[in-house]
């Protein structure tokens, strides 16, 4: 019998082709990108593509196959639920602080905002901050400020729409701090108290990034100081910033609560407030395990997230929403940039968030439909094989040097699976939400990239800072020199060291910041899930009783994940390494290989 074992993953689909008899003879393998959500009808296209590639490698076609054997694919969807979504951060305040490249002058200025055209009517002595729109060029602006200052008008700073900060500053008789590149200059309220600060090159502002200094400048009450805190946080790390007191009611605050979720297990039920964070959620989850369903509080952000997951799954699988159950969830603490409605230059603040990856349990109907679709398209008999985690451990046992008892961690795109096989051949497995896709989501969210493809590259490859056109400093600290100059677009930027050469990151992010976010995301997802999964399958929940652990799946090929998991497991003592399926596939193809081996002797 000629059989093709097919493993449909969230990101990739793998095939192993084997001739089955008393023994199993593997002939070829193939790997393609998964089309559509794992376990849905759209997968048919990539399965056919992968099968055709594997058969072509041995000069055969799909018509030569007797059977296509599919894994039981369980869809996993990741989403982010904010601890608090703040549409508008502050009451009775507006702010500017977008770190323009060319602010003028230095220091702190405080006064009332005045349109530059009204300087001639401004009384001497009262401090003021001039507002310069795009209709006044830098030469005119400097002349008008100098003329007003000569008459005794006390000008303490300027807010400018154009990129004219340095040009104006260089023409002034008395230096003042200037913030330019303010795109919404028309929204700056006039006649209102304001404070403006510009720091030296390489430094960041100190007064306007401290809520107590802002309170001192504006004589705020303790309650007003509490409300101004997000403004100070948003200005932290900026070279320049402005805070303006706005007319009462101009900027209102509206918050959508994160809400509570109820974790329903076989024998217990726990309710937890999402605002308490990921650790509280995971602690309650451990108490009710195994999880059967999650209920959420209507009208909250958590409810919206879980309903989105259910709705998407219902549409993709053509099932009623009521039949879609959340089988597992992974919660991690993260930070998410939030735009400040009171801002005048596209400002944002980093708000605390809880990232949730939800694994959805559906009936076998979608997989049965996929099998029927494949049979119709290929003319080959199609069946659904065994449990994914059990097939993975069967495939992992083909690694040279591996034998039972053996535990495996299958690190995929959407889920983390763990299995353990004992000497008597009994297998225990677990299927958990959260893997590579969630790491990508966290990187994309925390760095504010709004570019999942870039976040995926940051996850997969090491980084370097291109310091000159002839050398770069790797994230490890090592320096690499080049005989020919690098692409000029790389100069001064952090670069991703991809397979086809360095790729510049066109965002204002430093090397250490990106590396820290990437590593923390992997620790939160992969390391935490690895420990959680092994505890579930270990005898008595004791990881110390596991002697051998093999990593399989696409994420096992990551340049740093195996080392991070090895460090986390060091205190428990098992031998850990990347699997080498059939001695030639590395950590890939474990499930597809296991599917073929499950038919041995047929």
pLDDT tens sequence across 85-121: 333 333 445 555 555 667 888 999 999 999 999 998 8
Determine which helix (DSSP H) or strand (DSSP E) holds 169, and give its type and residue range: helix 165-169
**pLDDT tens column, 215-225:** 999 888 888 88
Give the pLDDT of residue 188: 83
CA distance 154 to 126: 6
Residues 55/61/64/67 CA torsion (nearest 10 deg): 60
Place of tokens 């100081």: 225
Rounding to the nearest 10 degrees, give the CA dihedral for residues 561, 563, 564, 565. Answer: 90
Residue 212 has pLDDT above 60, yes or no: yes
Q: pLDDT tens digits, residue range 22-54? A: 899 999 999 999 998 787 888 999 999 999 999
What is the model's pLDDT at position 505?
A: 95
pLDDT confidence band for 324 (50 / 70 / 90)? confident
CA dist 242 and 195 (Å) reads 6
If residue 302 lies in a helix (H) or strand (E), which one and from where to where?
helix 301-317
- Which range in 64-73, 333-342, 473-482 is most confidently predicted, on average pLDDT? 473-482
Higher pLDDT, 338 or 109: 109
CB contact at 8 A, 3 and 16: no
Average pLDDT taken over every residue of the chain: 86
Tell whether pTM > 0.85.
Answer: no
Most confident of 215-229, 300-314, 407-421, 454-468: 454-468
Which tokens in the block code for residue 270? Answer: 């726990």
Domains and CATH numbers, the chain: 1-75+364-400+584-602 (3.30.420.40), 78-86+255-361 (3.90.470.30), 90-245 (3.50.30.70), 403-578 (3.30.420.40)
- Helix (H), strand (E), coil (C) string for 487-542: CHHHCCCEEEEECCEEEECCCCCCHHHHHHHHHHHHHHHHHHHHHHHHHHHCHHHC
């Amino acid at each position: 019998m000629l059989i093709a074992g097919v493993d449909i993953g969230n990101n990739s689909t793998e095939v192993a082709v084997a001739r089955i008899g008393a023994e199993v003879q593997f002939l070829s393998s193939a790997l393609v990108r998964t089309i559509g959500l794992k376990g849905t009808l759209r997968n048919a296209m990539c399965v056919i593509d992968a099968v055709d590639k594997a058969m072509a490698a041995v000069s055969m076609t799909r018509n030569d196959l007797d059977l296509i054997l599919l894994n039981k694919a369980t869809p996993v969807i990741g989403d982010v639920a904010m601890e608090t979504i703040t549409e508008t951060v502050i009451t009775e305040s507006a702010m500017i602080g977008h770190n323009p490249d060319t602010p003028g002058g230095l220091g702190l200025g405080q006064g009332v905002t005045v349109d530059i055209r009204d300087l001639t009517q401004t009384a001497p002595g009262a401090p003021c901050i001039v507002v310069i729109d795009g209709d006044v060029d830098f030469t005119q602006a400097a002349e008008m400020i100098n003329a007003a200052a000569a008459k005794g008008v006390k000008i303490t700073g300027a807010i400018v729409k154009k990129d004219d900060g340095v040009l104006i500053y260089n023409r002034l008789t008395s230096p003042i701090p200037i913030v330019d590149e303010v795109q919404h200059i028309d929204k700056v309220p006039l006649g209102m108290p304001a404070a403006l600060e510009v720091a030296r090159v390489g430094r960041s502002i100190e007064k306007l990034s401290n809520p107590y200094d802002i309170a001192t400048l504006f004589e705020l009450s303790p309650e007003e100081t509490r409300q101004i805190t997000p403004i100070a946080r948003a200005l932290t790390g900026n070279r320049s910033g402005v805070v303006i007191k706005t007319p009462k009611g101009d900027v209102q605050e509206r918050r959508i609560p994160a809400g509570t979720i109820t974790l329903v297990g076989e024998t217990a039920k726990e309710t937890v407030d999402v605002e308490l964070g990921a650790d509280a959620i995971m602690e309650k989850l451990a108490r009710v395990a195994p999880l059967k369903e999650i209920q959420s509080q209507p009208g909250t952000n958590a409810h919206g997230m879980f309903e989105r997951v259910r709705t998407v799954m219902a549409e993709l699988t053509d099932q009623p929403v009521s039949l879609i159950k959340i089988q597992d969830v992974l919660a991690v603490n993260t930070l998410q940039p939030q735009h400040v409605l009171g801002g005048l230059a596209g400002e944002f603040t980093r708000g605390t968030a809880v990232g949730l990856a939800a694994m959805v349990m559906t009936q076998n109907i979608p997989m049965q439909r996929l099998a029927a679709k494949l049979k119709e398209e290929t003319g080959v008999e199609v069946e659904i094989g065994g449990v994914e985690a059990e097939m993975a451990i069967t495939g992992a046992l083909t690694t040279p040097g591996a034998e039972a008892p053996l535990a495996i961690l299958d690190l995929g795109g959407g889920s983390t699976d763990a299995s353990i096989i004992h000497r008597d051949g009994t297998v225990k497995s677990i299927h958990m939400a959260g893997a590579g896709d969630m790491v990508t989501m966290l990187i994309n969210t925390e760095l504010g990239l709004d570019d999942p493809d870039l976040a995926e590259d940051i996850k997969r490859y090491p980084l370097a800072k291109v310091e000159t056109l002839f050398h770069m400093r790797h994230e490890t600290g090592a320096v690499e020199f080049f005989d020919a100059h690098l692409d000029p677009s790389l100069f001064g930027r952090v670069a991703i060291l991809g397979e086809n050469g360095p790729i510049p990151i066109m965002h204002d992010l430093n090397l250490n910041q990106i590396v820290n976010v990437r590593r923390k995301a992997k620790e939160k997802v992969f390391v935490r899930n690895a420990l959680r999964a092994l505890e579930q399958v270990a005898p008595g929940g004791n990881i110390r009783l596991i002697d051998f652990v093999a990593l399989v799946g696409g994420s096992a090929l990551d340049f740093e994940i195996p080392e991070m998991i090895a460090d986390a497991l060091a205190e428990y003592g098992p031998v850990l390494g990347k699997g080498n399926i059939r001695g030639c596939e590395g950590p890939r193809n474990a499930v597809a290989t296991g599917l073929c081996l499950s038919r041995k002797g047929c």
